[in-house]
Amino acid sequence: MSPTASLDRAAPPHTKHSTPTAHTAAATSNRPSAAGGGTPGQSPVRARVPGVERGLPSLPVLHPTIGAPIVDIRTLPREQGCYAYDPALGETAICRSAITHVDGDNGVLLYRGYPIDAVVEHCSFLETAWLLLNGELPDAAQLAQFTRDISRHTMVNEQVHAIYRGFRRDAHPMAVMCGVVGAVAAFYHDGLDIFDARDRVIASHRLIAKMPTIAAMAYKYSQGQPFAYPNNELGYAANLLNMLFSVPCEPYSAPAVAVKALEALLIIQADHEQNASTSAMRLVGSTRANPYVCTAAAIAALWGPLHGGANEAVLRTLEEIGTADRIPEMLRRAKDKNDPYRLMGFGHRVYKSYDPRAKVLRPLCHQLLQALGQRDDPLLRLAIELERVVLEDDYFIERKLYPNVDFYSGIIYRALGLPPVMFTPVFAVARTVGWVAHWNEMITDPETRIFRPRQLYQGPTERPLPAIAERRSYPPLVG
């Protein structure tokens, strides 16, 4: 097979099925108990909790419109005298939502019921944003008005320019975005009533409109170039490319193929139900905090390499691998349980079949590289070869680790001319739509309460505090 062939062929389904490894949560303290104290929770003896061992017969069951039934455990403490343990909330629904549905086993992603591939094919980014925010597709008049509303808010207060100057030129743009978006709360705080529908609409529009400007300014600042003001004559993706790549001294017009690819990418990254950054938005929003700081929290969560930061990490991984002959060595590292190294751009918490976003991006990536004449770029050829090798490797097949959205988005962003540090900021621009849609849904949900999870406490039981002269010396846990 030629190195480029794997992008052209249909996404190969993995055939082997494996049972996920049971991870036990044996997070135990290695510290000795002080006199009068102890380290409970380590005993393998199971407490008898009436009802729980009989299969939770008395707990109500909720039925989503699609997907498995959900046991409502809210009455557990009152009726069963216990709590539920679910680190990372992998098996727990944290809210009701009608925005996006992910079926990880079958590789399905629906925006308000519409399959992602249909949305990418038939909708613009702003149509998609309206759909996610409002539940239904806009009619022509609504779309025109929404487009006007968004373009009216694309500029940032001139004072915001000064905030950038407080950062080092080599600051990571995600750090800059986190700071700037949080700082925008200072411009829109007093008078913003999050329980007022009109105020929420304006805050949502401002966030969607200003994020491309803020991201592009972070890039321009890092390059030592003047900020480019938004051009409201341009579409959302074209305006973003214009603010990223135009300079005052010469004309710039983004290639149509680049605009099309970016628009598709923005749509694909617009929402993904209760992912880490959206959950961060909901968590901070549940405290009734200002929506701009909630968004700054979501940006922080997105930055991590296990989440949105993976697209940047994919490029770093490819650079680290360097040449195809080093792929086996990197795969060995990725499989070694004593090595924390993971192959970025592969695997997903929810998708245990081909990521439907990757399925849409794959041919798009191919078309873009072709149109931009980049099929022979050595790094991109390496990416294609890596994907081919991984899809045929037993370790990845058994664990159902497919290329995820960030594998392709990283390649597309690079082809568009963005440096790796700008990949996640552009992802943040897209995901802002999902964040504000979920924030609005949460604020208007009567069941919303401040997030306050429980814990499985495994520290010492109550013990007397010794005077300093009587204390034994223990190695510090931190530091």
Residues that bind ligand CMC (CB under 6 A): 21, 272, 275, 306-308, 310, 334, 342-349, 399, 401, 404-406
C-beta separation of 362 from 408 below 8 A: yes
Nearer to ligand CMC, 128 or 311 (CB): 311
Residue among 24 and 323 whose Cβ is closer to ligand CMC: 24
Selecting among 348, 355, 366, 393, the annotated active-site residue is 348
The encoded tokens of residue 8 equal 């052209």
Q: In angstroms, rounded to a whole number, what is the distance separating the alpha carbons of residues 285 and 434?
A: 14
Least Å distance between CB 344 and ligand CMC?
A: 5
Q: At a CB cut-off of 8 Å and minimum separation 6, what does 22 contact?
A: none
Residue nearer to ligand CMC on the CB measure, 138 or 356: 356
User: Residue with CB nearest ligand CMC?
Assistant: 347
Question: Rounded to the nearest whole angstrom, what is the least distance from the CB of residue 145 to ligand CMC in the complex?
Answer: 32
Q: Select which of 172, 393, 406, 438 is catalytic.
A: 406
Instruction: Look up 348 and say whether it is catalytic.
Output: yes
Q: Would you call 117 a catalytic residue per the annotation? A: no
Closest CB to ligand CMC among residues 173, 345: 345
Output the six-digit token pair for 196. Answer: 């007022």
Question: If DSSP codes are grouped into helix, strand and coil, which group holds residue 111?
Answer: strand
- How far apart, in whole angstroms, are the C-alpha atoms of residue 227 and residue 162? 12
Q: Which of 376, 388, 380 is nearest to 331 (CA)?
A: 388
Q: How far is the CB of 333 from ligand CMC (least distance, A)?
A: 9
Nearer to ligand CMC, 209 or 281 (CB): 281
Q: Which is nearer to ligand CMC, 219 or 346 (CB)?
A: 346
Q: Is the dihedral of CA 131, 101, 414, 174 positive or negative?
A: positive
Residue type, 47: A
CA separation for the pair 84, 65 (Å, rounded)? 24
Counting other chains too, the contacts that 165-174 makes at CB distance below 8 Å and 24 or more residues apart are 165/221, 167/221, 169/221, 169/222, 169/224, 170/222, 171/222, 172/421, 173/215, 173/218, 173/219, 173/222, 173/421, 173/422, 173/424, 173/425, 174/299, 174/302, 174/303, 174/309, 174/421, 174/424, 174/425, 174/428
Smallest separation (angstroms) from ligand CMC to the CB of 53: 27
Q: C-beta of 304: minimal distance to ligand CMC in Å?
A: 9
Contact 150, 140 (CB under 8 A): no
Q: Cβ 311 to ligand CMC, closest distance in Å?
A: 8
Which residues does 230 contact at the CB level (< 8 Å), separation at least 6? Answer: 151, 154, 155, 212, 213, 239, 243
Taking the complex as a whole, the smallest distance from the CB of residue 327 to ligand CMC amounts, in Å, to: 13
Taking the C-alpha atoms of residue 427 and residue 297, their distance in angstroms, rounded to an integer, is 15
Contact between 359 and 11 under an 8 Å Cβ cutoff? The reply is yes
Cβ of residue 298: shortest distance to ligand CMC, in angstroms? 12
**Distance between CA 28 and CA 40 in Å, rounded?**
9
Of residues 125 and 351, the one with the C-beta less far from ligand CMC: 351
Judged by CB, which is closer to ligand CMC: 7, or 344? Answer: 344
* Beta carbon of residue 202, minimum distance to ligand CMC (angstroms, whole number): 29
* Pairing, β 61-62 against β 100-103: unpaired
Q: Do 326 and 78 contact (CB within 8 A), yes or no? A: no
How many residues does the structure list for the chain? 479
CA–CA separation, 362 vs 302, rounded Å?
Answer: 22
3-state secondary structure of 16: coil
| Identity of the residue, 222 or 275, whose beta carbon is nearer to ligand CMC in the bound complex | 275
Active site residues: 348, 406
